[in-house]
Structure 1
């Protein structure tokens, strides 16, 4: 009786048990939290939450807060509302982070919240409050949207 080739045997195996590479680890977070975030991103029905969105949001948040000095920073509106351009607005970045935090299990949520809280403290320190935010912002219930916007991000 002829023997089946190894490739043919692997092709017949159940694809549910196929090995895949683990998701890339997000800088500053544990591997377990990175895996939980990857799961949330893949299962989310939100247009702006896709695989890699959390890492990109954290990176954009850090870049916005990065310029040295004591001059205030002003969030900019995004050029358009597509997935790519919307991350130019730090307020949208914070919206994405809040949604991911909301969907995470308890331990990964706590770890991501610690990172976001540290960035939030710097955001509050480097931006100015907007006294007219309730009239200007469509989501004025969120504290990060009640900051003065419209200047140049680079200072």
Structure 2
């Protein structure tokens, strides 16, 4: 029986050994290793709101909300649509996504992303006002960013 040539054997092998989709570009402000860990968490998550690119989008939305210069208070707008795309209209949902990713990341990547989020949280606390009626509301949340005043007039 004739021997098979190495070129023929290489041609039968799959081109890539990596399973799943290729990782996205690096998340702004994170190292390659942390970005890959975030991508892995997003890919393996079964959460409705945690999908590929959700963390990058949440960070961008959080930065965009805090971007206007000045000292005037900012009021998060409630999202009128619960779908994964429209829910980022509410910056508090973006913060929810970041919190969920932080809970699932390995220690080093969690620390790196946590430093970014903590800096943004400091600005958020400084630029938003506390809700004096947060304790009297029907729903109570353990997340502090829902206990800040929001603009509810737009959606009723």
Which of the five TM-score ranges fits, normalised by the shorter chain?
0.7 to 0.9
Once the two structures are TM-superposed, the CA of residue 95 in structure 1 deviates from its matched residue by 0.5
Provide the residue aligned with 2:46 in structure 1.
Answer: 45
Aligned length: 151
Q: Deviations over 1:87-117 (max 9, x none)?
A: 0101111000000000000000000000000
Give distance in 1, aligned partners of 2:18 and 2:85: 31
Provide the residue aligned with 1:91 in structure 2.
Answer: 92
Secondary structure, aligned partner of 2:68: coil
Give the RMSD, CA atoms, in angstroms. 2.7
Provide the residue aligned with 1:17 in structure 2.
Answer: 17
1:1-155 superposed matches below 5 A: 9-10=10-11, 12-13=12-13, 17-18=17-18, 21-136=22-137, 138-150=139-151
Give distance in 1, aligned partners of 2:84 and 2:35: 21
TM-score (normalised: structure 1): 0.86
Once the two structures are TM-superposed, the CA of residue 132 in structure 1 deviates from its matched residue by 1.1
TM-score (normalised: structure 2): 0.85
Give distance in 2, aligned partners of 1:80 and 1:133: 23
Once the two structures are TM-superposed, the CA of residue 79 in structure 1 deviates from its matched residue by 2.2
Structure 1's 137 and 26: CA in aligned 2 closer, same or farther, altered over 3 A?
farther
Q: Is the 8 A contact 1:74 1:151 kept in 2?
A: no
Q: Is the 8 A contact 1:76 1:88 kept in 2?
A: yes
Secondary structure, aligned partner of 1:17: coil
Q: Is the 8 A contact 2:134 2:147 kept in 1?
A: yes
